[in-house]
Amino acid sequence: EQGRVLIPGKLRDKAEMKGDVTLFWHSNHIEVYSQARYQSELEQNQLGGEDFENLAKLGI
């Protein structure tokens, strides 16, 4: 099921949200990223060998 959430214009402008966004669900909050910020975060925070080793230890 899909739904919509209205984010006030003042907040959208401050966060430079134009068009599609990406949501990250956490246990007690949601983070909303513009597509440009999401791409930037992905490029700056890529997983490395040690990250994959730690995930494997957790069975992920």
User: Rounded to whole angstroms, how far apart are CA atoms 17 and 32?
Assistant: 9
Q: Whole-model pTM above 0.75? A: no
What one-letter code names the amino acid at 21?
A: V
Task: Note the pLDDT of residue 28.
Answer: 93
Task: Note the pLDDT of residue 10.
Answer: 93
User: Rounded to whole angstroms, how far apart are CA atoms 33 and 28?
Assistant: 17
Query: Which of 23, 27, 54, 52 lies closest to 37, judged by CA?
Result: 23
| Residue 20 pLDDT grade (very low, low, confident, very high; cuts 50, 70, 90) | confident
Task: Note the pLDDT of residue 1.
Answer: 73
User: Rounded to whole angstroms, how far apart are CA atoms 34 and 41?
Assistant: 11
